[in-house]
Every structure is written in C-alpha cells, then in structure tokens.
Amino acid sequence: MASSDPVAGQSLAALAKYGFTELDQALTGLNQLVALIGDSGRSALAHFSLAANPDYALAQLVRLAELDTSAIKKLLRNSDAAMRLIRLIGASEALAEFIARNPDCLSLFDKPRNLIVSYQEMTESFQAEVMTSKATFVASEQVAKLRNTYRRILLEIAIFDLNQKNQVQGLPVIAKALADLAAVSLDQALRIARAELLTQEFGKFEPEEIQATELAVIGMGKGGAGELNYISDVDVIFVAESTNPNLANERMLEIATKLATRLMRAIDSNNSESPLWQVDANLRPEGKSGALVRTLDSHVAYYERWAENWEFQALIKATPIAGNIQLGERYRNALSELVWGSSRRENFVESVQKMRERVTENIPAEELDWQIKLGVGGLRDVEFTVQLLQLVHGREDESVRAADTVTAIAQLAKAGYIGRAEASLFSENYKFLRLLEHRIQLMHLRRTHLMPHKVELQRVVARSVNPDWNAEKLLSEWNEIKLSVRSLHQRLFYRPLLVAVAKAESGFTLSDDQVMDRLAAVGFIDPRGASQHIQALTSGLTRRAQIQRQLLPVLLEWFAKGTDPDSALLSFRRLSENLGESHWYLRMLRDSSGAAERLANALSTSKLVTELFELIPEGAAWLDEPDLLKPKTLEELSNESDSLASRHKDAIAMAKALHHIRRRETLRMALGAVVGETKLSEIEIGLTDLAQWYLSSLADAVITSRQYNDEPLSSLIDFGLVAMGRFGGSELGFGSDADLMALYEPIGSTSVAIAQKCAELIIAEVRKLATDPLLEFEIDMDLRPEGKNGPVARSLESYRAYYSRWSDIWENQALLRARFFYGSAELSAGFGELVDQYRYPKSIEQASIIEIRRIKARMETERLPQGADFNRHLKLGRGSLSDIEWVVQLLQLKHGNDLPAIRTSKTLEALDSLVENGLVQAHDARVLKESWVFCSRIRSASVLWSNRRSDVLPTDRRQLEGIARILEYPRGSATTLEEEYLSRTRRARLVFEKLFYA
C-alpha cells in the first residue's frame, strides 16, 4: 500500500497552506503516519489546517499512531473524529500528553456531542471510578483515580469547546462546565476524606461521630459564580455542623477540620497523578490566621461583628458547591442579607473605593501589556464595573444580583441600568478576553493570565481562536478589545449620567433617582447640584461642549477619587467658562494623557489651587508638562523681574506685575505639591526664594523710583533686609508670614536722622506695595529690637549700641535665624560680624539659660490663643515646631561659639550637625525631626486644602480628611492622621523635656 512517495503531489508550498511551519519535518511526519496507518493518514491532512499548532499536532499524531496503531487507524477513518482529535492535540500539549498516557481516551473522539457533559454525568463517571468502600480503600489510589477521572472529563469539555461553531458565544457554557467539574471533584474529594478518616483515625473518632459531622463547601470567586477557567485556584470556605446533639461542636469541628484538610490534600497534594489545582481557603473569616472550618453561627457572628466591608463583596459570589448543600444554602441565605442589607448603606462609598483600590493593585510593569486579566482593559476592569453597578443598583433591585458576569450584564441591561448596545458589546468583549485566557491556559494547562511573548506561541493562540488568524491579527484584535473595555467603565457608569442629565438622546435613559444613586455612590454629596453642573458643561453645540461631553465621564471618575468631588466639579465648570474656547486648553484636555487627570486631582483636593486658578486659569497648561510644575529658581525669577523693571519705571505698575508673578508662582508650587511632583523641602526653598525675590524686587522698585527731598534714595542710604524666623531658616510654607528686620548705613554726608527717615519710607512703601488683596502677603517685623515699640529700621551703629546694652536673651536667640538677603556686601558683612558675637556668645550665663527656659514655659500658656488645645497647636503646642526649634536654638547659643559647624539658620540642618557633634543623640534627633517635618507638612497641607492659614490641627473630620489626602494618605484617614500627629508630638515632647530642661 505504501508507496515510496506517499504524499506525492503535496508540495512543500501546499503543506504551508495547511498551516505547517516546519515543512521538511511535516513531510517526514506525514510519511511516517501514512507508513503506519495507510491512506487515512493522507486524508487527515486537511484537518491540520484547523489545528492551532499543526506541527505539534502532527508529531503527536504520529506518536499516538505508534502507541496504538489500530485505534488511530480506526479513528482516522471517521473524518469528523479525526478532525476532533487533531484540533484537540493541536490546541493542548498537556491534554495530548494525557492521551498518550491514557490511549483508551481515544474513544472519546468517536462521537460528536450535542450537549456538554452534565453535572449528573460527571458525578456518575466519578462514582464509577472512585471507590470508598471500606474493605479495599487506599486513599492515595483513590486520589489518583479522582484526578484521572477529572482529567478525562476535562478532555471531554475541551473537545466540545474546540468544536463549537462559535467559541466566543459558547464560552459561558464551557466556564459553567468547568465550574461544575471543580464542584463535583470537591464533592468526591470529600467522599475520599471521609473514608480516609474512618480508616486512618480509627479509634480516635467514632464512625458515628464522623457521620454526624456535616461539611459544606462554599465556592467563592469564579468557582462560586459558575464561571471558572481551565485552570485556576478554586476559592472555598468551609462550614460545618453537628447533626447529633451528643457530638459537641468542639469535637465536631476537630473532625470537620480534618475532613477539610484531607479534602484539600486530595485535590492539591503530590501523588502519582499530579495535583489538579490549589484549593484556596484564604477568603475565610480572619484569613490565613482564622480557623479553617467554622460553624454557621460562628461565620454569621464574624460577619456581623468583625468583617471589613470588602469582605462582603467577596460574598456576592458565594455559592454552595459541594458537601452538604442544604447547610451551604443556609449559609448563603444567612449572609446574603448582610451583603445586600440596608444596614451597610452608610459605608457604601468607602466600599466602592476599596474595591477600586483592589482593581488597581500593583502588577509588575513588564507584565502590564501582556496581562489579559489585570492589565488595562483587562478582565478585572469588566468585573469591577459589573460589581459596582450591581452594588449600586442591586441593593434595591433583586433582579440584578446574579453571581456570574455574563448573566449579570444581561440582567443590568434588562433592568435598564445600562444600554442594550453597550451591554452586548461589553458581554462580547468579556467573552473574547475569557476565550483568550482559556486558549492560553489550555496549551499547557498552566494557570496564567499572560499573553505569551513569543510570536510562534502567539500564532498558536491566534489559530486556536480562529484558524485563519495569525499573531499579528490576534494582537490587533486584542488591542481593540482592550481599548473598548477601557472606555466601557466610563461608558457604562458615567456616560449614562450625562445622557440622562442632558435628556438629549432618545432610547436608553436612567431615571433621575438612578442618576442620583450613582453620583452619590461615588461620593458626590450634592448629586443634584452635580447634575446641574454636568448639564451646564455638556449642553450646547460649541466645540468646548463637544469635547467636554467626551471627557466628562472620565473626569467625573477622577473627581470622585478626590476629597471634595462637588467643589471640584464646580471649579472645573468655572475654569472651563474662564478659559472659554482657548485652543490649547481644549487640546490639552483632549490629547495629553496625564494633564486632565492631574487637573481633576488638583481641583478635587485643594482650595488654594482652585482659587488661584480663577486668577490664573492659564496655569492649567503646566499640567501638560511636569517639569513646569517645579518651583522657579531665584535666578529665573530675577531675570523676569529685571526685564519688567526695564519696562516699568513706576513702582505701582511694577508692583502689579510682581503680584501677578507671585500668584502665578504660588499656583505653580501649590499644583506641584498637590499632584505630588514637588517635595516639602523643595517647596520650602521655593517659597522662601519667592518671598525673598518679591521683597527684593519691591525694595529695588521703591529705591530706584522714589526720592527724598529731591534726592534719589539710592544716593542717600545703603539699605538692607534680613530674613528672620522660618523665613531666615528657608523654611517657609504656604501662608507663612515673612519675618523681617531692616538696617541701613547713611551714604556719604547723609545725616543719621535723614537716613532713618529714608529707611522708614522704604519700609512703608514696600509694605504698601507688597499687600496683595487676592493672595495675602504678611510682613512681620516684631522680632526687631524692642519689638513693636522699636523703630522699624536701624543703622548698624544703632544695632550695635542696642545689642551691647539692652538686648534680652530672647533677642539674641532670634538672631540665630537671621539671614541677610538684600543690600550691599559691606552692609551684609558688617551685620554678620555684629550679630555673630551675640548669637554665638563666648560664654552664656546660667541666668540667661534659666531666662530662656522661663520664657518658653510662659509662652506655652500665654501665647497660646484663647481656647486653643495645647496638644493640637502646630506651632506652640506640645512637642510641635517651637519645642523643637527652641531645643536646637538653646544648644546653638551654648555651643555655637566653639563649634562653627552648628551655625546655621536651618532647623533640620542644625539638628544633623548637633548629632554629628555629639550634642544630641541620633535617636532623639530623629524623634524631633519627625515631629518637626510632620507639623510643617500639616501646616502647608492645611493651607492647600482650605486656603486658610491655621496653626491648629483641625478637629473637624472633613478638614482632617482633606489634609490627610493632600499628605497622600488613603481615603478615610482622618483619624489616622490625628493619631499620628498626637503620638509624634507626644514623643517629641518627651525628648524636648529631657533636652531643654536638662
């Protein structure tokens, strides 16, 4: 029969047409096949074009023919059976191997199936194989049989799956069958576990006791929802009860726990037949540390008392799948009330947030593009959207509570919560993604959700989905689906809000109540107001309205992530009305990937930002480019003001221009801080530079433009400005005062009296011009000699006289933070030389030290505003800023003369050098620093959040929450922030008391 050239007429090119890639090998293989089984081998050739991996399928077929020539011969005579076999071994190497090990399985290909294997048939197959009668029972043998039977049924399911006319549409049926198979296996595993307990533990437990122990297995996740993958962990929870009053719960649970562990072992321990999959019981109460098995009462008690909100969401899919189903049903009934019950309503928004956080769980970056499940536009996105909609609308509407995704989508559409067209698209996308996942898993029966990286493997996946596809086609189809899914969340959840609000389109529309439900669910406190803003933003025929209609669904989602979605939406509306039709703005919103999201984030967390935006809407442009959010350097600022000065000779006009720049730069830093581009240390320096530049430019403007008795001021005095306090330490925050001192030297023959007048004139003018009604700027000169009663400026000589005769120790202490920043080099040198002898004295008297301590103690009671809580005052409170600064300054006064290294006006730098010089222990310094930084951050955050300066940690929860969010705490952290503040400052206070009064 065999000719010398059995495939004569089959050119290599023709083989390529059948889908082979290794043509020589294919030719050899075909020859071998025909040699073994004759002509039917040749006729099989046509079927390879349907195989996902024809090369592998052929090699396997030859191997099978060698193993069992007659069976293959017989099988290949039936063309349909041949097709089924070749498709299967072409799609699944793992199952092909299984067939090679169990050639009798070949009979499964003989007949086509009209219906998939039923639950009943599965049970019968297992019962025929797995024997648990006592006499012959050996657990490991029965476990092997269980697993072998499982794989045979899996093979049947796969054959059916691959030969469906429409694999995408058939997906739910396959997923259900796979879930059934897992359920039946667990049930059988329990049978084995019982038998095992009866033999092995004989004598320890009485047979009656074991019989009286009922165990129910609750399926969670995909297993519970009846939509399992080819291979994945199966999540379960165990419930047990005693059916005999004489069997106490305690002992019953001991038995039930043994049953459960043996059941799990029957599925996933090592054995001659390899494990099936992991049985994962970690969703149980208290997770890994909780008891494996509980009684029904104990479960209910846990969920009533302890369970976190997200744990209830896991229960949506809980379904009894094995063991005592009645007991399982009682579990489901008892808990379903808790899942959907009205009592959980108050924490609903929080639940949704938690759910979202779990969706955006970190996945390794290199996997991101290949993830079918967790990546952007992946299965998880679909599931999140469906569950969210179920939670929002399922509380009132029982008809949308289905556990599995496909049914849930259909229900949501039927009940009118999503449009039919979207629903069907969504459902198709979901099924397609699942199909991809199935085909990839089927190849090696490995639990994976990653698209293979190799093109050859992608080709196999492509052909298993559609024999006409190649790798490229597969990836492009997949990409389209990803894009579609990515936008579907907005299209399903947010877009209908727009449609309903605008009442524009006909067809599917949400009712008013449903719109309110959804807006409230994502955190809008005033859903009615929100819907008005949405209407205003999206109605009309302008280009802006068109773009906003496109954009608003996603913006709404971003607003909802912030602290104050309501005000964010309002601010967005204002901004948008301000910027009108500016092209760059609309383009930025539409095209730039990050800018719109950063804008939404800033608007929903910071009032300072939203108010500054009203003055400088064009600041929105910086969001496009994170570099533009960095504070400008002193040099950049000076260049800008120099150029202004050359144009504006008039001080008032100049000041106006400077106001604008200061507002603009403040907005820049506020935005940078809110979107997390700029660190606290950068902001402190940026704000200090800005204040310094502002004052210098104003002083320049005054001195160059004003005259005294017709003489230009610049020819009369050499004028200087010194930064004090936090300004001197380069530690300004948002809303900080600028502490200042002023000094001068008369030039030439100018009399001291006239020079003094000139200096006072400059100060008065600078003060006046610095005032900006739209963005407060406060100059504080109270740290000057004699405080409020002293002259606002002095000559160097006058300072010298004052300090040598009158100065109080606290004035010397204040000089530690003095930093000369404006004026001539001579003036700066003279001032430096003068103050150094006071702030770093050769020796300090004990009486002075006592005086400092006394002043500090008095400050705590007297300077604290009426009614303020000492424990919550950020500046003068327990363990807060002034405690830390005073410790540092006392040590600087004591040791600054001997140790030049500790001479600095910056608190943190000073602390570091105090540690290096052994004056403060590293641990103590750390405690002080943590508190100082924390207080500073809270002060700035508080201004960002509310655009109001406050030196007290607020008690209002909403304010605390707002501040916490700016400090990048997760949602709901008001109490955490408060606790952390109180505990850091309490510890700092203990260190303060030790060091300051030591």
Partner 1 sequence: MDKQRDFVLRTIEERNVKFVRLWFTDVAGTLKSVAIAPAEIEGAFAEGIGFDGSAIEGLARSYEADMLAHPDPTTFQILPWRGEIDPTARMFCDISTPDGVPASADPRNVLRRALAKAANMGFTFYTHPEIEFYLLKSSQIGPEGPIPVDKAGYFDNVPGGTAHDFRRRAVNMLEQLGISVEFSHHEGGPGQNEIDLRYADALTTADNIMTFRTVIKEVAIEQGVYATFMPKPFTEHPGSGMHTHMSLFEGDTNAFFDASGQYQLSKTAKQFIAGLLRHAPEITAVTNQYVNSYKRLWGGGEAPSFVCWGHNNRSALIRVPLYKPGKSQSSRIEYRAIDSAANPYLSYALILAAGLKGIEEGYELPAETEDNVWDLSDAERRAMGIQPLPQSLEHAIRMLEESELAAETLGEQVFSYVLANKRREWSDYRAQVTPYELKTNLETL
Residues that bind partner 1 (CB under 8 A): 249-250, 253-254, 286, 289-295, 298, 304, 306, 337-338, 341-343, 346-347, 867, 869, 871, 955-958, 974-975, 978-979, 982-983, 986, 990
Q: How far, in Å, are 681, 885, 887, 953, 981 from residue 985 at the CA level?
A: 20, 13, 14, 12, 6
DSSP result, 379-391: HHHHHHHHHHHHH
Alpha helices, DSSP H only, in 360-453? 379-394, 405-414, 420-444
Strands (E), 178-273: 213-219, 234-242
Beta carbon nearer to partner 1, 442 or 876: 876
Beta carbon nearer to partner 1, 25 or 871: 871
Give the pair of three-digit tokens for residue 281: 């019981």
Tell me which residue has tokens 């090369």.
Answer: 55
Distance CA 948, CA 940 (A): 10
Q: Which amino acid is at 580?
A: G
Q: How far is the CB of 658 from partner 1 (least distance, A)?
A: 40
Q: How far is the CB of 250 from partner 1 (least distance, A)?
A: 6
Q: Which amino acid is at 156?
A: E
Beta carbon nearer to partner 1, 295 or 571: 295
Q: How far is the CB of 959 from partner 1 (least distance, A)?
A: 11
User: How many other C-beta atoms are found inside a 10 Å radius of the C-beta of residue 505?
Assistant: 11
Alpha helices, DSSP H only, in 675-751? 680-705, 725-728
Beta carbon nearer to partner 1, 168 or 292: 292
Beta carbon nearer to partner 1, 123 or 871: 871
Q: Do 497 and 518 contact (CB within 8 A), yes or no?
A: yes
Beta carbon nearer to partner 1, 298 or 539: 298
Q: What does residue 701 show for φ and ψ, rounded to 5 degrees?
A: -60, -40
Distance CA 286, CA 118 (A): 36
Q: How far is the CB of 979 from partner 1 (least distance, A)?
A: 5
Q: How far is the CB of 349 from partner 1 (least distance, A)?
A: 11
* Burial (CB count within 10 angstroms: exposed 0-12, middle 13-18, buried 19+), residue 338: middle
Distance CA 962, CA 604 (A): 10
Q: For residue 775, give the nearest of 916, 994, 947 by alpha carbon.
A: 947
Beta carbon nearer to partner 1, 73 or 251: 251
Query: 675-707: string of b/e by CB count within 10 Å (b at 16+)?
Result: bebbebeebbbbbbbbbbbbbbbbbbbbbebee
Beta carbon nearer to partner 1, 398 or 956: 956
Q: How far is the CB of 941 from partner 1 (least distance, A)?
A: 19
Q: How far, in Å, are 195, 217, 264, 479, 720 from residue 241 at the CA level?
A: 18, 12, 19, 50, 86
Beta carbon nearer to partner 1, 507 or 865: 865
Q: How far is the CB of 396 from partner 1 (least distance, A)?
A: 15
Alpha helices, DSSP H only, in 282-377? 296-305, 309-314, 325-340, 348-359
Q: How far is the CB of 292 from partner 1 (least distance, A)?
A: 8
Give the pair of three-digit tokens for residue 211: 């019989």
Beta carbon nearer to partner 1, 744 or 996: 996
Q: How far is the CB of 889 from partner 1 (least distance, A)?
A: 26
Q: How far is the CB of 285 from partner 1 (least distance, A)?
A: 8
Within 8 A by CB and 6+ apart from 817, the residues are 723, 724, 725, 726, 728, 729, 739, 889, 905
Q: What does residue 511 show for φ and ψ, rounded to 5 degrees?
A: -80, 165
Q: How far is the CB of 990 from partner 1 (least distance, A)?
A: 8
Which three-class secondary structure state does DSSP give residue 952? strand
Beta carbon nearer to partner 1, 333 or 789: 333
* Burial (CB count within 10 angstroms: exposed 0-12, middle 13-18, buried 19+), residue 123: middle
Q: For residue 706, give the nearest of 773, 761, 772, 786 by alpha carbon.
A: 761
Beta carbon nearer to partner 1, 660 or 958: 958
Q: How far is the CB of 240 from partner 1 (least distance, A)?
A: 10
Beta carbon nearer to partner 1, 331 or 838: 331
Beta carbon nearer to partner 1, 239 or 732: 239
Q: How far is the CB of 313 from partner 1 (least distance, A)?
A: 17
Q: How far is the CB of 346 from partner 1 (least distance, A)?
A: 6
User: How many other C-beta atoms are found inside a 10 Å radius of the C-beta of residue 477?
Assistant: 16
Q: For residue 864, give the nearest of 943, 872, 884 by alpha carbon.
A: 872
Alpha helices, DSSP H only, in 785-845? 796-805, 809-815, 825-839
Q: How far is the CB of 359 from partner 1 (least distance, A)?
A: 23
Q: How far is the CB of 457 from partner 1 (least distance, A)?
A: 43
Q: How far is the CB of 259 from partner 1 (least distance, A)?
A: 15
Q: How far is the CB of 174 from partner 1 (least distance, A)?
A: 37
Distance CA 238, CA 193 (A): 14
Beta carbon nearer to partner 1, 872 or 894: 872
Q: Do 985 and 878 contact (CB within 8 A), yes or no?
A: yes
Within 8 A by CB and 6+ apart from 105, the residues are 98, 99, 152, 155
Which three-class secondary structure state does DSSP give residue 241? strand
Beta carbon nearer to partner 1, 633 or 975: 975
**Strand 738-746 relative to strand 793-795: parallel, antiparallel, unpaired?**
parallel
Beta carbon nearer to partner 1, 520 or 982: 982
Beta carbon nearer to partner 1, 137 or 348: 348
